[in-house]
Amino acid sequence: MIQSDIDLQPYNTMTIAARARHFCSANSLEEVREALRFAQAQQLPILPLGGGSNIVLTGDFPGLALHLGMRGLEFEVLDDGVRIRAAAGENWHQLVMRSVELGYGGLENLALIPGNIGAAPIQNIGAYGVELKDTFEQLTAIEIASGELVTFSAEECNFGYRDSIFKGPAKDQYLISEVVLKLSGTWQPRVSYPALQQYFDEQGLARDALTPAQVASAVIDIRNSKLPNPVEIPNAGSFFKNPVVDAGQYQTLKTAHPELVAFEAGDHWKLAAGWLIDQAGWRGFRKNGVGVHDRQALVLVNPGHRCGSEVVNLAREIASDVQLKFGVTLEPEPRFYP
């Protein structure tokens, strides 16, 4: 079941060609444990893989690329909502659409996010004002060092803005095998984002009569209109996180650039990274087969199926230009391997 010298191009949505010294697709807990024993015996680093939509391969991976393919999806109807148990290898968007079809609300703003369930807690996926943590109950993970199962509550996951314990103190220590969500029986649409408001205005749909299916459909239409489908134009979604700055830096920027796109986040301000990159003149840029999407400057694209270093070089050029022009530091959102 463990293969050697495998091309990872089909396993990352940036379509970067890089080889893994070993590769394995595990479809059960026992297969995961077997793969872990193999890696431990040879002291190999592990690259956990879901849909590969939030990674950048900067070179060959010298260890075991382990695809988590476990399947299983259960809906349990409760007095006050519904509980969803989903195995790591289930596709996120299909889970959202299944819950919407069954009439359950809570996940519709997160429609069309690529990738699998197992990766969703890693960065607490979010879109249009909703995050995984809003419906998250708990997860089960396999501790890499011991092969033991461990559960994490929402509090233990320490979710933040595109962040969790799995990017911090628990980084590289666990493989998430199952996620449990709880959707409330009292659903309210969350449609505060301007793009959603505009969509419903144009369609003549009253906000207080919306269904989860209508919101999902709006999110899908809007996303399709501005985000590149990775199957057609390779990409890893937003390449940079939205920088969060203090009130002083925000005021200075707002004075210099009155049209600055920013949102209050507690006593700080979240800047729209896409706006900064666009203003710096990068939208639609192309060089050496890589570039910046022409309808959303936050998305770097790899239509030439180039290697990771081309993507990283472009990202560095953009970040240093934004630093120069706005004094703002951009940090990549996807994880770089190795």
3-state secondary structure 188-199: CCCCCCHHHHHH
In 79-131, which ranges are E strands?
81-87, 126-127, 130-131
- Name residues contacting ligand NAP, limited to 121-140 (CB under 6 A): 126-129
d(CA 182, CA 252): 42
Q: Does residue 274 touch ligand FAD according to CB under 6 A?
A: no
Considering CB distances under 5 to 8 angstroms, the limit depending on partner class, which of ligand FAD, ligand NAP, none binds residue 192? ligand NAP
With contact defined as beta carbons under 8 Å apart, do 286 and 304 qualify? no
Nearest approach, Cβ of residue 335 and ligand NAP (Å): 12
Q: Does residue 296 touch ligand NAP according to CB under 6 A?
A: yes
d(CA 128, CA 196): 8
Q: Are strands 3-7 and 19-26 parallel, antiparallel or unpaired?
A: antiparallel
**Site string (262-281) toward ligand NAP, x via CB under 6 A:** -x--------x-x-------
Q: Look up residue 236 and give its two tokens.
A: 């890893």
Q: Is 19 a catalytic residue?
A: no
Q: Does residue 237 touch ligand FAD according to CB under 6 A?
A: yes
Tell me the angle at which helices 212-226 and 194-203 cross, rounded to the nearest 10 degrees.
110
Nearest approach, Cβ of residue 295 and ligand FAD (Å): 12
Residue 251's alpha-carbon distances to 243, 262, 319, 323, in angstroms, are 15, 11, 21, 17
Angle at 58 between CA 225 and CA 176, to 5 degrees: 75
d(CA 162, CA 14): 20
Q: Which residue has the tokens 């609300």?
A: 105
Nearer Cβ to ligand FAD (84/120): 120
With contact defined as beta carbons under 8 Å apart, do 24 and 42 qualify? no
Nearer Cβ to ligand NAP (116/242): 242
Nearer Cβ to ligand NAP (85/270): 270
Q: Does residue 110 touch ligand NAP according to CB under 6 A?
A: no
Q: Does residue 165 touch ligand FAD according to CB under 6 A?
A: no
* Residue 305: partners with Cβ closer than 8 Å, 6 or more residues away: 9, 15, 16, 17, 234, 289
Q: Which of 120, 219, 290, 298 binds ligand FAD (CB under 6 A)?
A: 120
Nearest approach, Cβ of residue 123 and ligand NAP (Å): 7
Nearest approach, Cβ of residue 128 and ligand FAD (Å): 8
Applying CB under 6 A, which residues contact ligand NAP?
126-129, 192-195, 226-227, 237-238, 242, 261, 263, 272, 274, 296, 298, 333
Q: Which residues are catalytic?
A: 162, 238, 333
Applying CB under 6 A, which residues contact ligand FAD?
13, 47-55, 68, 88, 113-116, 118-120, 122-123, 125-127, 162, 175-176, 227, 230, 235-237, 335
